[in-house]
Structure 1
Amino acid sequence: LYNMGGMQFVLPEPLVQGSYGVVSVPENEITPATQDALVLKISSNGETVTKKLLGGKGSSNYSDKFKVGGLDFSLRYGSKVYQLPFSIKLNDFIAEKYPGTEKSYASFMSKVTVEDERPFDYDIFMNHILDHKGYRFFQASFDPDERGTVLSVNHDFWGTWITYMGYFLLYIGLMGIMFFGKTRFKELTQGLDKLKKQKAVASAIMLFGVISLNAQGKTQDGDHNHQNTPSQQQLDSLLNASTVTKEHAAKFGELVIQDGGGRMKPLNTFSSELLRKLSFKDIYKDLNADQVFLSMMLNPALWYNTEFIALDKKGQNDSLRGIIGVEGAQKYVKATDFFDSKGAYKLAPYLQDAYATSTPNKFQQDYKDVDLRLGLLNRALSGEIIKIFPLLNDENNKWVSAVEYRSGQYKVPDSLYANFIKNAVPYYLHSLQSAIANKDYTESDKLLAAFHQNQLNHGSEVLPSENRVKAEIIYNKLDIFNRLYKYYALVGILMFFVLVFTIFKERRIWNIATYFFKGIIYIFFIWHTSGLILRWYISGHAPWSDAYESILYVSWATMGMGLLLGRKSNMTIAASAFVTAMLLWIAHQSWVDPSIANLVPVLDSYWLMIHVAVIVGSYGPLTVGMILGIVSLLLIILTNTKNKERMELNLKELTIINELSITVGLIMLTIGNFLGGQWANESWGRYWGWDPKETWALISIMIYAFVIHTRLVPGLRGRWTFNFLTILAFGSIMMTYFGVNFYLVGLHSYASGSQVITPVFIWYTLFGVLLLGGISYWRYKLNYVK
């Protein structure tokens, strides 16, 4: 046994021998190729000998004896050896995979016996440690053949508890800043209460809202200018001949399949994801996703020749359009457009380089994205994806499709069941053709019921409950978060304008409108919260475990903080609604996968709810601080000699709210970071490993701690400096959140997919921030500095 970090323990061989396997160091840890070399000169009685020792962590072997000057020497270089006061025997090692997968581990566990005065059995697995006589054993790794386990060991009982007590005192102290004593936070709150009686601030929002509305309008205009390309009359006829009723399609969508990651989900989830990934829409010609998928099964050739595969807007994919030979204005293409008259794949010459590099350029990334989408379409049309049949007596609960079974890759001992797997789907499709013609789906409904009963009979161990299946279908149909970003943006911008009108002229209608829009945003927030709870129920884990879910959670925290601070300023609610809309819009870009996925083992812990909820939740108030910083600088730019007194009062209010917001964010970020250290100690036996995510979280804490204390630094005092720095500081949060997940490699990279290219708009955004800072600084010097 050896420790991954900290004290090292190597058990003598008799103590680690087990009846099933051995507790061992992996071979790659003890081969000379990975060891260090230490060169020593040994001198004795006038004789000198040079010896080279190989060793390192996990190594403890002595060299052969040799003589120098008449004395015997035996040397070793490696871990210090400790003799444990007890021994451990490995009885069994169990690595559980997600259903139907080979390398996707749900968990791995060592079943051991602690041999001491009173022997006892214990199960060691991730986030479940063995604590005995002050020694703590952690599940670190295992041998590739799954017959041996690797445990790390820690021996620091008092140090652990003293550290934890210190952490909790830190948490209490940080949270106490917001509620007790004569603190800066309390001082800001009292100052804001005094300003609350003054005229509400909204002038800066006008410019921000107008710019945002123009951008929104351009996007909508681009969409409205597009008209669906009409299909040929023959294709329309074939489509009608392969379209089932919505009622039967809904029953089909409730059938459970097993995806490539081992997740059990209704077919409706796959069909919805398929249509969205291919066409970027939820429906096709009044057909829902389940109807489209059934039509694909009934007539694959039709969908190879149907123009429904969406390309990005003109200008973003012109090179791709040129390769496949379609017009620049054409938004939808068909699968056959990607093949020439001889059947050769037009993208093949370009994909070799695209897949060979880990840093593809924009064109290569476009080629890869389209290739993956075409591969998904091919798997759907071939029926390979319809994994609805549980294999009999499979220890990993694997389900297969009829196509996979007919390939001979899998065998079923029951010939009757084998015939059912091979022939049931073709017979079902034949019944559908008759049902479409006769408008009688009785036989098809019975076959769907037979499929479901078969899953109950042979796959009940992994089959989700009926309520969970229905909940997931409801979640798919509501498409809550994809709709919310449009609603948040619309209401937020309208509220901006109402607040602007209120500044210029007080009218009862504007006050009523403000309360109305505020109430609508509260309803959206409740809907947002309900969506997160529903996703939590469906997935079985807290909804902040991957990139998509964490963006949803950050947007929720942003809106929640905006509503909390909105009791002091209506403008904060409107600004937060717009920022929330932008975050949700980002979550639904093509490079973010919204699919519900299984957890990696280390995330399957209550610490996911504690640590991630706090540290990711801190991004909400810090995001609010960033947007208030932008609005404050815009307010400075709009200041002139006529409105200076009113603008100064408004700027003071905005700056106070901004400082309150980032104070809350900094406290949450700090507490979340220390909670992460506790989680690491409970999972791996070490608090801090300089993982990129850990490092950047610390950098963000230091940056925001600096920003919040600039008021104490001569030369950095002033509202312009503070607000501008809150904008720049947000870049560290973007790096902590996005950069680490998608660019760097570490323990926190499980949310990332393939490496992404830095979008061009990032550089435009940076230029815009610097330009805004420069202009606002000039105006600040002109109007506010005497």
Structure 2
Amino acid sequence: MKKTIIYSIISLILATLNTLQGQQLHRLKPYELVNRQYIDTQHSEKFAAIQVQDFQGRIKPISTLALELIRKIHGKNSFIYVDKENQKKQLTPIQVFIGMQYKPDSWQLLDFIKIEKKAIPALKDLIKINPSGHVSASQFFDFKGIYKLKSLVSSAYAKPPGKRTIFDKDIIKIDERLNIVWSIFNGQFLKIFPKIDDPDLTWYSPVASEIEFNKDDKHFISKIIPTYFSYLDLGIEKGNWQKANEVIELIKSFQQKNGKAILLSEKKVNTEIWFNKNHIFLWSLIGYTCFGSILMLLCFVRILKKHKSTIQKIIKVVIFLLISVFILHALGIGLRWYISGHAPWSNGYEASIFIAWIGMLAGFIFSKNNSFTPAAAAILAICLLGIAHGSLMNPEITNLVPVLKSYWLLIHVAVITASYGFLALGSLLSLITLLIMCISTLIHKQETENTIQELTNTNQLTSTIGLYLLTIGTFLGGVWANESWGRYWGWDPKETWALISIIIYSFVLHIRIIIPKNYLYI
């Protein structure tokens, strides 16, 4: 029902494109559509600091909300367009977010909505998709305002989730993006107005007209956004952004008066905005990729060459640079902890980030006797951070689900997740050992044996520590399960595979003692 209403309203809005003004907009080039709603950078940064409540109840700066929404819709962290001089320019997420509500008619014509690559061949006859794989919102409707993907979407949703094809899933994603776009156009995400004494501490958007605010607040909410848009006209036409800035301060004052109970401190808001802008984990990934690859190459060169003093000095410098990246990585984890208010290993994205950091920590702990260890740890971090920054994981900071609101998140999850870092490092060291064995004919026999011995010893230490952590973490998980559900063990998939992992690693570590002659090859 809700979707039907949304599509009906979209159709009415798109119908304006058939008017004289709409036809004029159609003739504008993309940069001209951008220019008619271009928001000053300094002003947009002030708007970014306004606090908003998302649909899960988390209070955050609009900067964060804009980044999350634009990433979902566009698949990138900014909107790139070509200006009059054929130069590439970009709009920040907050500029896009403001513009989509201020001039939705322009954004209906801009190729902005991402289409999955595998869905493009099947959809190219229905909608006009640009070479980058993006399409405008207007392309989803014909000249009568009928939704072109209606039958495809209905068919995809009608199937049970387990029987949906990749194309069905892609269609659902595209449909969800279009719904998000409309919700932004309509102001539904702009939940910036708290209500005094609201029992659920809910904030409301200006379109939530059914909510009973007091007379003064209701008048303020109904007038403030239209007033703000009129002052945006003034800013764009005459470069005077003072009035628009004053409106932002009025909104902040309203929030301070009505929503002080859950309002974030200015320090926390500024920290989250800084965190959003600087992409610490992406820079960590780049650092690990550069220095980790160099270190791995130098390690192999060192065992091939007779004169090693110069190479060893370079290795020390590279390890120092890796430590710098490791500190940056730790800073990112600490900031995410501060911003979210809970330990940052509550979902897949955070777990990948944390395991990568633990793997690097293990690499530095055992780096004294062998430089392959931090190099292998860097490769592990590259893999995990690369996965975290892929399209499969959601980097959003979210509120904890009720079962995770426990001190056990800090204890059990930290311990068992840390074990993965040590065990994964052991796996990579094993692969490196096998590789050295394969190229042993190119290396002096003594050098080969020494390196293999060092790697084997280190591997045993990392695997032993990992096994201890995994075992302790599993027992702690049983205690937590008893507190939460009244039973210590339920043979669910997580518990079962934790036990299987403990048995396998126990066998691997003990078989070396049973068969000492083949110690290096186990």
TM-score when normalising by structure 1: 0.59
Distance 1:248-1:320 versus aligned 2 partners, 3 A rule: farther
Aligned-pair CA distance for 1:295: 1.6
- Counting only pairs closer than 5 Å after superposition, residues 677-756 of structure 1 correspond to structure 2 as 677-713=478-514, 717-720=518-521, 722=522
Partner residue, 1:191: none
Match of 2:176 among 367, 372, 376: 372
In structure 2, what is the equivalent of residue 294 of structure 1?
98
Shift of 1:667: 0.4
- 2:42 is matched with 247
Distance 1:379 1:716 in 2: 68
CA distance, structure 2, for counterparts of residue 304 and residue 520 of structure 1: 47
1:184-333 residue pairs with structure 2 within 5 A? 234-284=29-79, 285-312=89-116, 316-322=118-124, 324-326=126-128, 329-333=131-135
Give secondary structure in 2 for the equivalent of 1:460: coil
Partner residue in 2 for 1:394 = 198
User: Is 1:358 matched up with 2:161?
Assistant: yes
One-letter code aligned to 1:393: D
Q: Distance in 2 between matches of 1:441 and 1:282?
A: 25
Q: How many Å apart are 1:319 and its aligned residue?
A: 3.8
Any idea what SS the aligned residue of 1:481 has? Answer: helix
Matched with 1:577 is 378
Contact 2:114/2:174 (8 A) holds in 1: no
Residue in 2 that maps onto 1:441: 241
- The verdict on how the C-alpha distance between 1:512 and 1:556 changes in structure 2, with shifts beyond 3 A counting, is same
SS of the residue corresponding to residue 403 of structure 1 reads: coil
CA distance in 2, matches of 1:716, 1:493: 34
Query: 1:233-258: per-residue Cα shift (whole Å, max 9, x none)?
Result: 53312311211221111110010111
Task: Name the amino acid aligned to 1:279.
Answer: H
Aligned to 1:74: none
Aligned equivalent of 1:469: 269
| Mapping of residues 72-83 of structure 1, within 5 Å | none
Q: Does the Cα contact within 8 Å between 1:710 and 1:716 map onto a contact in 2?
A: no
Map of 1:550 onto structure 2: 351
Could you tell me whether the CA contact under 8 Å between 2:303 and 2:447 is conserved in 1? no
1:484 partnered with 2:284 = yes
- Residue of structure 1 in register with 2:470 after alignment: 669
Correspondence for 2:220: 420
Cα drift, residue 717 of structure 1? 4.3
Residue 476 (structure 2) pairs with residue 648 (structure 1): no
Q: C-alpha deviations, 1:464-499, integer Å up to 9, x for none? A: 111111111111111111332222112211222223
Preserved contact between residue 323 and residue 347 of structure 1 (Cα < 8 Å): no
Aligned partner of 1:638 in structure 2 is 439
Q: 2:300 aligns with which of 483, 492, 500?
A: 500
Correspondence for 2:82: none
Q: If each structure's helix is expressed as a fraction of its own residues, which one has the higher value? A: 2
Task: Give runs of ≥4 in structure 1 deviating > 6 Å.
Answer: none
Structure 2 counterpart of 1:662, which letter? S
1:688 is displaced (CA, Å) by 2.0
Q: Which amino acid aligns with 2:133?
A: K
Offset at residue 645 of structure 1 (A): 4.6
CA contact (8 A) 1:321 1:328 kept: no
Q: Which has the larger radius of gyration?
A: 1
The 1:714/1:660 distance shift into structure 2, 3 A limit, reads closer
Counterpart of 1:470 in structure 2: which amino acid?
A: N
Distance 2:449 2:303 in 1: 14
SS of residue paired to 2:60: strand
Per-residue CA shift, 1:544-595, capped at 9, x if unaligned? 1122111111111111111111222111111211210110111122221111
Within the alignment, does 1:541 sit opposite 2:342 as a pair? yes
Letter in 2 for 1:440: N
- Aligned residues of 2:421 and 2:466 also touching (Cα < 8 A): yes
Q: Distance in 1 between matches of 2:448 and 2:165?
A: 46
What SS class does the counterpart of residue 402 from structure 1 fall into? Answer: coil
The alignment covers a number of residue pairs equal to 485
3-state SS of 1:265 partner: strand
Which stretch shifts more, 587-596 or 707-716? Answer: 707-716
Number of the residue aligned with 1:347: 149
Task: Tell me if structure 2 keeps the 8 A contact 1:536–1:543.
Answer: yes
Amino acid at match of 1:365: K
What amino acid is the match of 2:149? L
Change (3 A) 1:541 1:320: farther
Instruction: Spell out, residue by residue over 1:217-276, the C-alpha distance to the aligned partner (whole angstroms, 9 max, x if none).
Output: xxxxxxxxxxxxxx9853312311211221111110010111110111110001111222
* Change in 2 beyond 3 A, CA 1:553/1:644: same
Among residues 255, 259, 268, which one is paired with 1:455 in the alignment? 255
Query: Residue type matched to 2:270 in 1?
Result: K
Is 2:467–2:505's contact at 8 Å kept on the other side of the alignment? yes
Distance in 2 (CA, whole Å) between partners of 1:712 and 1:232 is 78
Matching residue of 1:773: none
Q: Could you tell me how far apart the structure 2 residues matched to 1:533 and 1:551 are?
A: 15
Q: Does 1:338 align with 2:132?
A: no
Deviation of 1:317 after TM superposition, in Å, equals: 4.0
User: What code does the residue aligned with 1:307 have?
Assistant: D
Matched-pair identity in %: 37
CA distance in 2, matches of 1:558, 1:598: 27
CA RMSD of aligned residues (A): 2.3
Please state how far the C-alpha of 1:668 moved relative to its aligned partner: 0.4
Specify the SS of the correspondent of 1:618: helix
Task: Kindly provide the amino acid, as one letter, of the partner of residue 332 in structure 2.
Answer: G
> Which residue of structure 2 aligns with residue 597 of structure 1?
398
- The one-character-per-residue Cα deviations of 1:382-401 (angstroms, maximum 9, x if unpaired) are 21100011124321111111
Give the 3 Å change call, closer, same or farther, for CA 674–364 of structure 1 in structure 2: same
CA contact (8 A) 2:129 2:135 kept: no
Any stretches of 5+ residues in structure 1 without a counterpart? Answer: 1-230, 723-786
Residues 196-222 of structure 1 show CA distances to partners (whole Å, capped at 9, x for unaligned) of xxxxxxxxxxxxxxxxxxxxxxxxxxx
SS in 1 for 2:52: strand
